[in-house]
């Protein structure tokens, strides 16, 4: 008897987490795999944030909190939105969740009926696509290639809108490309979004890993102020991936809907984690800045090393900790009887031949590229790219 639902049978395992799993499995077999697959800072959570959680446990923060979040954290988020982004929210417009991933799930669940369309600026983070599909919506990728720094134009966006479009979803700084939309570029997109009265979901989880010094939030643009959901979280900027803590600032009706969904699914984030989150947002940003600067140095190193490999084409990522090189030059080439047809084949080849785990660009909507996470030490990055160069050199 087949007990599993059709829905779960259609659902792929997260491609990022799958590559991380494969790398772990190979390592357990004694293979010297370097994993550049997972988007996870290799730094530990700053000590003062950990101490805050320990203290919170001692102080009895061990119970359920209000579903949308502990009042203290909600207030810290409200002030953070104002301070860092120029966004004004009331308390009841903020919902804390178990990670930005759940925030995106809540929003999609709240907005999409069966068959409704959600436009995702492409390349996109893999889970956008799969969450929308899981919910019964239709992901509509609008693709920008490396020649336009992977950034979608207002004209491209306009052309993808139909009667069934409910929202537009993107990240800036972008996972997987590292591209950052400028204020002017966001204004161009906002004009189209406002004219069609769509919701825009702006995932700003890499806000603090931005090398341009200027993070722009689309929600500050008048025309889309009441149409924007801003998603953020603690995982990247504070190296808190395992804490599972994210949040949104949204129109009131949508925040209420997200909280209602959450009330049936997780009941909210952990109480002591939320206490520590409030400390993260209100304390010295020094550790976050130090991590950003380390990522900037690695970005420069990775661009330099990859550019020296014939056939690898890179953009100049301006944020996050990913680079998304175009690898088309290797397609159609072979080694040892295996022909590389697309990014899936290439990621598999690099894992087997170079023992370097990356993620196929196909998972992010662009099968010409692979994603390299440079959240690893400089020594690991040097060795990984040396091995990649050697393996790529064997293809003919
Ligand atoms: N958005 C983007 C663009 C991401 O890369 C990730 C991966 N962490 C998330 C959301 C989910 O973050 P969280 O760990 O807070 O669920
Ligand atoms: N967002 C990270 C990534 O893209 C972490 C893994 C995940 O949440 O899918 O690799």
Q: Dump pLDDT digits (tens) for 197-206.
A: 999 999 999 9
pLDDT at 125: 97
Q: Which of 38, 42, 129, 240 to mutate to test the pocket of ligand 2 (most atoms within 8 A of CB)?
A: 38
Q: How far apart are the first and last CA of the chain?
A: 48
Q: Which of 11, 17, 18 to mutate to test the pocket of ligand 2 (most atoms within 8 A of CB)?
A: 17
| Pairing status of strand 165-171 against strand 117-122 | parallel
**Considering the chain, what is the average pLDDT of its residues?**
97
158 plus 193 within the same structural domain: yes
Structural domain containing residue 354 = 6-44+287-393
Q: Which of 255, 282, 309 is the last residue of a domain?
A: 282
Q: What is d(CA 190, CA 292) in angstroms, rounded to the nearest whole number?
A: 28
39 belongs to a structural domain:
yes
Q: Which of 26-40, 59-73, 265-279 has the lowest mean pLDDT?
A: 26-40
Q: How confident is the model at residue 87 (pLDDT cuts 50, 70, 90)?
A: very high
- Report yes or no: 20 and 349 within 8 Å, Cβ to Cβ: no
pLDDT band at 253 (very low <50, low <70, confident <90, very high): very high
Say yes or no: CB of residue 21 within 6 Å of ligand 2.
Answer: no
Domain membership of residue 169 (yes or no) is yes
Which residue out of 175, 207, 274, 317 has the highest number of ligand 1 atoms within 8 Å of its CB and is therefore the one to mutate?
Answer: 175
Q: What is the pTM of this model?
A: 0.96
Least confident of 158-162, 269-273, 337-341: 337-341
Distance CA 268, CA 379 (A): 40
pLDDT at 13: 84
CA distance 95 to 70: 10
Report if residue 1 sits inside a domain.
no
The pair of structure tokens assigned to 137 is: 């919506």
Residues 91 and 233 in one domain: yes
Residue 183 falls inside a structural domain:
yes
Pull the structure tokens for residue 359.
Answer: 């993620």
Q: Establish whether residue 39 lines the binding site of ligand 1, counting it when its CB lies within 6 angstroms of any ligand atom.
A: yes
- The DSSP string of 159-189 is HH--TTEEEEEEESS-TTT-----HHHHHHH
Strands 246-249 and 94-97: antiparallel
Q: How confident is the model at residue 67 (pLDDT cuts 50, 70, 90)?
A: very high
**Averaged over 327-340, what is the pLDDT?**
95
The answer for 325, left when phi > 0, alpha when psi is -120 to 50, beta otherwise, is beta
The pLDDT score that the predictor gives to residue 15 is 84
Q: Out of 282, 305, 327, pick the residue that ends a domain.
A: 282
Ligand 2 touching residue 127 (CB < 6 A) = yes
pLDDT of residue 190: 98
Evaluate whether 146 touches 361 at the Cβ level (below 8 Å): no
228 domain residue, yes or no? yes
Per-residue confidence at 344, pLDDT binned at 50, 70, 90? very high
Q: What is the pLDDT of residue 14?
A: 85
| pLDDT tens digits for range 367-392 | 999 999 999 999 999 999 999 999 99
The pick from 22, 23, 103, 125 for probing ligand 2's pocket by mutation, whose C-beta has the most ligand atoms within 8 angstroms, reads 125
Q: Which residues contact 382 (CB under 8 A, 6 or more apart)?
A: 301, 305
> Across residues 88-110, what is the average pLDDT?
98
CATH of the domain at 237: 3.40.640.10
User: Do 295 and 267 sit in the same domain of this protein?
Assistant: no
Q: Which ligand is nearest to the CA of 241?
A: 1
**pLDDT digits 0-9 by tens, 215-229:** 999 999 999 999 999
Residues 40 and 52 in one domain: no
Predicted local confidence at residue 205, as pLDDT: 98
Measure the CA–CA gap between 274 and 278, rounded to whole angstroms. Answer: 6
Chain length of the chain: 396
**Over the range 297-327, which residues count as b (16 or more CB within 10 Å of their CB) and which as e?**
ebbeebbebbeebebbbbbebbbbbbbbbbb
19 with 67, same domain: the answer is no
3-class secondary-structure state, position 22: helix
Q: How confident is the model at residue 154 (pLDDT cuts 50, 70, 90)?
A: very high
Does 231 fall in a domain? yes
Biggest CA pair distance of the chain: 64
Are 234 and 295 contained in the same domain? no
Domain shared by 295 and 369, yes or no: yes
Summarize pLDDT for 174-189 with one digit per residue, the tens. Answer: 999 999 999 999 999 9
Within this chain, do residues 52 and 40 fall inside the same structural domain, yes or no? Answer: no
d(CA 15, ligand 2 centre) in Å: 9
- The answer on 310 and 264 residing in a single domain is no
- Calculate mean pLDDT across residues 282-300: 97
Q: If DSSP codes are grouped into helix, strand and coil, which group holds residue 296?
A: helix
Same domain (yes/no): 33, 72? no
Residue 362 included in any domain: yes
Separation of alpha carbons 287 and 279, rounded Å = 13
246 lines ligand 1 (CB under 6 A): yes
What residues are paired with 372 via a beta bridge? 323
The CATH code of the domain that includes 316 is 3.90.1150.10
Spacing of C-alpha 286 from chain mean position: 23
Residue 132's pLDDT band (cuts 50, 70, 90): very high
Report if residue 184 sits inside a domain.
Answer: yes
Total number of domains in the chain: 2
Name the residue with higher pLDDT: 19 or 255: 255
Ligand 1 atom closest to residue 125's alpha carbon, by position in its atom list:
3
pLDDT at 118 over 90: yes
Beta bridge partners of residue 142, listed in sequence order: 121
- Which residue's CA is the nearest one to ligand 2's atom 1? 39
pLDDT of 62 strictly over 90: yes
Degrees, nearest 5: CA angle 14-19-20 = 95
Q: Is 41 in the pocket of ligand 1 (CB under 6 A)?
A: no
For ligand 1, say whether the CB of 185 is within 6 Å of any of its atoms. no
Query: Residue 227 and residue 221: Cα distance in Å, rounded?
Result: 10
Q: What is the pLDDT of residues 354-365, one digit of tens each?
A: 999 999 999 999
Distance, C-alpha 395 to centroid of its chain = 32
Task: Please check whether residues 222 and 358 belong to one and the same domain.
Answer: no
User: Domain check: are 77 and 101 in the same one?
Assistant: yes
Q: Is 145 helix (H, G, I), strand (E, B) or coil?
A: coil
Tokens encoding 275: 């206490």
Which residue is listed with tokens 């997987």?
176
Q: Point out the domain boundary residue: 282, 298, 323.
A: 282
Give the residue whose CA is nearest to atom 10 of ligand 2. 39
User: What does each C-alpha distance from 144 to 150, 154, 167, 239, 361 come to in angstroms?
Assistant: 5, 11, 18, 29, 13
């Amino acid at each position: 008897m087949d007990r599993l639902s059709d829905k779960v049978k259609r659902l792929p395992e997260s491609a990022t987490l799958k590559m991380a799993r494969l790398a772990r499995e190979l390592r357990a077999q004694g293979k010297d795999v370097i994993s550049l697959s997972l988007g996870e800072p290799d730094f530990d959570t700053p000590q003062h944030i950990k101490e805050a959680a320990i203290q919170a446990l001692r102080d009895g923060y061990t119970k359920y909190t209000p579903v949308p979040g502990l009042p203290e954290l909600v207030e810290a988020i409200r002030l953070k939105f104002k301070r860092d982004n120029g966004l004004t929210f009331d308390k009841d417009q903020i919902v804390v969740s178990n990670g930005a991933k759940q925030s995106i799930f809540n929003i999609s669940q709240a907005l999409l009926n069966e068959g409704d369309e959600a436009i995702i600026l492409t390349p996109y983070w893999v889970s956008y696509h799969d969450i929308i599909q899981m919910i019964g919506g239709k992901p509509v990728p609008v693709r920008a290639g490396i020649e336009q720094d992977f950034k979608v134009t207002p004209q491209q966006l306009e052309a993808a809108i139909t009667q069934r479009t409910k929202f537009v979803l993107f990240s800036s700084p972008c996972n997987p490309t590292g591209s950052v939309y400028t204020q002017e570029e966001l204004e161009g997109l906002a004009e189209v979004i406002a004219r069609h009265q769509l919701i825009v979901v702006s995932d700003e989880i890499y806000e603090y890993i931005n090398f341009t010094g200027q993070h722009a939030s689309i929600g500050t643009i008048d025309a889309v102020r009441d149409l924007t959901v801003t998603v953020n979280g603690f995982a990247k900027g504070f190296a808190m991936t395992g804490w599972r803590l994210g949040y949104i600032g949204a129109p009131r009706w949508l925040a209420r809907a997200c909280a209602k969904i959450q009330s049936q699914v997780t009941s909210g984030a952990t109480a002591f984690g939320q206490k520590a989150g409030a400390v993260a947002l209100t304390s010295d940003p020094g550790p976050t800045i130090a991590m950003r600067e380390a990522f900037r140095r690695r970005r420069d190193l990775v661009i330099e090393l990859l550019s020296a490999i014939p056939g690898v084409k890179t953009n100049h990522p301006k944020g996050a900790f990913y680079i998304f090189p175009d690898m088309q030059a290797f397609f159609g080439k072979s080694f040892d009887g295996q022909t590389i047809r697309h990014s899936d084949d290439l990621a598999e080849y690099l894992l087997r031949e170079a023992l370097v785990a990356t993620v196929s660009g196909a998972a992010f909507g662009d099968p010409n590229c692979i994603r390299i996470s440079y959240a690893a030490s400089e020594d690991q990055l040097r060795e990984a790219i040396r091995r990649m160069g050697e393996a790529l050199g064997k293809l003919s």
